[in-house]
Each structure stands twice: as C-alpha cells, then as structure tokens.
Amino acid sequence: MAVLTLAQAITDALDIALDNDERVLLMGEDVGKAGGVFRLSNGLYEKYGPDRVIDAPVAESGIIGTAFGMAVAGMRPVTEIQFMGFSYPAYDQIVSHVGRIRSRSRHRFTSPMVIRMPYGGGIGASEHHSESTESIYAHTPGVKVVVPSTPYDAKGMLLQAIDDPDPVIFLEPIRLYRSVKEEIPVGAYLVPLGLARVLVPGDDVTIITYGAMTAEARKAVAILKQEGVSPELIDLRSIVPFDVDTVVESVEKTGRAVVVHEAHRTAGFGAEVVAQIQERALFSLSAPVQRVTGWDMIVPLKRAEHHYVPTAERIVAAVGKTLEE
C-alpha cells in the first residue's frame, strides 16, 4: 500500500499500463518533456521514450483523429486533452468517428482508446479552463464517460479504461488532483466502469453527485448530520454507463433525492438522473427531486466564480426543500 494523491494515482496507473502493455502509448500537448501541464506524466518520457510518451503538436483534432487510427490498427492510445475546454476542436472526431466505428462497421473495426481530460472549476482559472461539459459527451453515442473522485478509483478506473474494448472519456477533477490523498494498493488492480458507490450511507435523503462535487457534498453531509438529518451520498463514478440501480435502491429507501453537478443546468446530467428516478421510482418519492447545478452561463472568472460553483450551503438548502414535503 502507498499513500497517493489523485494526481499521483493517475501517474501510477499510466506507468503501470505503459510498463505492462507495449500497445499502450501516451499522447498529448506537453505530456513528454514537461511531464504534462499538471505534471501527471512526470518521469514517463524519460522512462519510456519519445515513441511512447508523445509530445503532440497543438492540434486536438489531430491528437484524437490519429489516436483513433492507432486504436483501429491495434494500439491502445491514451490521449490527454490539456483542459476539457480545449476538447471541442476534437469533438468532430469523437462524435463522427471514435463513437461510431464499432457500430458502423458492425464490430469489424473498433477504437479502444482513452481520452483523458482535466475538467471543472473552483480554482479561479483562466477562461475555458473551468469547463464541466460532460453532458456533451454523455450525449454522444458510443463513448463511455467516467469521472473518478478518489485516488483508489482514479488508478483502478484508468487501468480498466485502458483495458476496455471501447473508447472511454476519462474526466479528471482538477480541484481534487492534490487535495485528496489515500492509501491505495501498489501494482495493478481494476475498478469496473459503470458502478456507482455509496460514499456515506444514510436514511433520509439521497445526494447523487460525481467528480469534484463529491467534496462539496461531503461538506453538506457533515452539516446535515449536525442538524440531525441522515443523508446517503452516492458517487456515480461513471455517467455512461449510468448505474441507475444503485440510485433507485437508495431513493426507494430515502424517498428523497438531490442531484449535484457543477455543469450547466439545462440538459445537464442531473436531468438524466431525475428522469430515470421518475421512470423507476416515482411512487417511492415523498418530494420532488432537486438539482443543485452550475447555471446556464459561461463559468465566471476568479472574482465571480463563487456565484457559479455549487456550494455545500446550496446543497443543504436543496435538501431542506425535499424535507419540507
């Protein structure tokens, strides 16, 4: 066992994958000599060389399009898009090719590749550096979309994503890179994709979230417990596939639910969660399901960002609404 941050857990997983499987390579802007802008590939260029840890030209469509070709031809590319906000030049490749090839070739060709993207706000970054637009990718058929929030999950899910026979978008919460630490196993282990996890068991209300918002939700849970409320906190870990069973089981017990994400509200993933809850568990509900989300606006810069990113206070208020009924 070793105590690692979420960032170190990802580095560890990349190192293991490059070491174990010659088909694996890492490609992205500044991932080589500089070790990535977040230093997540630190030391890997020195260890595996420029053919396997590749400094790409500044060309996101190029990175994803060529990685797609490599994946089709038998490699296991792990790509890094420097920030989620710079993934859009590659969106055409993802929606038109990466997510389609298996189906349009009826399994003849496949594109097993990982697209890593640091995402999310709350750190007062520059424009485009705080995006949380996972719904765009969840709405794109043929790609899985996963979001670890702990070092243990980050390592096991990344190794699983690299092994997955299909393309996986692997979202990395920037805010949690270095703020969470835990003891995790040394060496390879896998965490299956598509399973939610109950972080805190409880009886009164289900709080459903993922990624960086797990940190705010944990704070809200602490406040609610002091007020005598017993919330159950679920970390989805994966939004495609979406583990609706775990959510429904919890809501059937608590009868109340609040979905939290920092993404924009309209057509955010919370809307999907609410829709599925009402399809499967409407009659277990004692109150309307609430959403705590970012707003339908550009993520504000540093000085006004606090108006945007959901806070524990807003989560507590939304829980309060469900309890009024």
Partner 1 sequence: MLQILTPEGELVGDPPIDVPMTRRLYRAMVGARLYDRKATAIQKQGRLATYAPFEGQEAAQVGSAAVLRPDDWMVATYRDAAAMWMQGYPWELLLAGRTGHERGGSPPDYVNVLPPSITVGAHMLHAVGLAWAERLQGNDRIAVTYFGEGATSEGDFHEAMNFAAVHRTGTVFLCQNNQYAISTGLNAQMATDTIAQKAGAYGVPGVRLDGNDLFAVYWAMKNAVDRARGSNGPTLIEAVTYRIGPHTTSDDPTRYRTNEEVDDWRSRDPLERVRRYLELNGAWDEEWQKHIEGEESAVVERAVELAEGLNTPDADELFDSMFAEPTSDLESQRRLLESEGG
Ligand X SMILES: Cc1ncc(C[n+]2csc(CCOP(=O)(O)OP(=O)(O)O)c2C)c(N)n1
Residues binding partner 1 (CB under 8 A): 29-30, 32-35, 37, 55-62, 85-86, 89, 124-129, 265-266, 292, 295-298, 300-308, 311, 313-314, 317-318
Q: Rounded to whole angstroms, what are the CA distances from 78 to 3, 87, 170, 171, 217?
A: 24, 15, 10, 13, 30
Look at residue 1 and give the partner it binds from ligand X, partner 1, none, a contact being a CB closer than 5 to 8 Å depending on partner kind. Answer: none
Cβ distance to partner 1 smaller for residue 86 or 189: 86
Whether the CB-CB separation of 237 and 147 falls below 8 Å is answered with: yes
Look at residue 219 and give the partner it binds from ligand X, partner 1, none, a contact being a CB closer than 5 to 8 Å depending on partner kind. Answer: none
The least CB distance from residue 98 to ligand X, in Å, is 18
Q: Binding-site residue total for ligand X (CB under 6 A)? A: 6
Look at residue 223 and give the partner it binds from partner 1, ligand X, none, a contact being a CB closer than 5 to 8 Å depending on partner kind. Answer: none
Contact between 29 and ligand X per CB under 6 A: yes
The least CB distance from residue 65 to ligand X, in Å, is 15
Q: How far apart (Å, rounded) are the C-alpha atoms in residues 296 and 294?
A: 7
Listed residue (134, 136, 176) closest to 10, CA to CA: 176
Q: How far apart (Å, rounded) are the C-alpha atoms in residues 117 and 84?
A: 5
Q: What share of the chain is helix, strand, coil (3-state, %, to 5)?
A: 40, 20, 40
Look at residue 297 and give the partner it binds from ligand X, partner 1, none, a contact being a CB closer than 5 to 8 Å depending on partner kind. Answer: partner 1
Q: Which long-range contacts (CB under 8 A, 24 or more apart) does 52-57 make?
A: 52/18, 52/24, 52/25, 52/26, 53/18, 53/25, 53/26, 54/25, 54/26, 54/27, 54/28, 55/29, 55/30, 55/31, 56/27, 56/28, 56/29, 56/31, 57/29
Look at residue 306 and give the partner it binds from partner 1, ligand X, none, a contact being a CB closer than 5 to 8 Å depending on partner kind. Answer: partner 1
Listed residue (137, 89, 146, 287) closest to 204, CA to CA: 287
The least CB distance from residue 118 to partner 1, in Å, is 13
Return left, alpha or beta for 228; rule: phi > 0 is left, psi -120 to 50 is alpha, else beta. left
The least CB distance from residue 167 to partner 1, in Å, is 21
Cβ distance to ligand X smaller for residue 58 or 222: 58
Cβ distance to ligand X smaller for residue 87 or 254: 87
Cβ distance to partner 1 smaller for residue 244 or 301: 301
* Residue 287, phi then psi, degrees to nearest 5: -155, 155
Cβ distance to ligand X smaller for residue 55 or 252: 55
Q: Rounded to whole angstroms, what are the CA distances from 244 to 166, 177, 209, 211?
A: 21, 27, 13, 17
Q: How far apart (Å, rounded) are the C-alpha atoms in residues 30 and 33?
A: 7
Catalytic residues, which ones? Answer: 129
The least CB distance from residue 66 to partner 1, in Å, is 12
First vs last Cα of the chain: how many Å apart?
A: 46
Considering only residues 142 through 181, tell me which ones interact with ligand X, judged by CB under 6 A. Answer: none
Considering only residues 291 through 320, tell me which ones interact with ligand X, judged by CB under 6 A. Answer: none
The least CB distance from residue 41 to ligand X, in Å, is 15
Cβ distance to partner 1 smaller for residue 35 or 211: 35
Considering only residues 39 through 98, tell me which ones interact with ligand X, judged by CB under 6 A. Answer: 58, 60, 82, 86, 89
Question: Where along the sequence are the contacts to ligand X (CB under 6 A)?
Answer: 29, 58, 60, 82, 86, 89
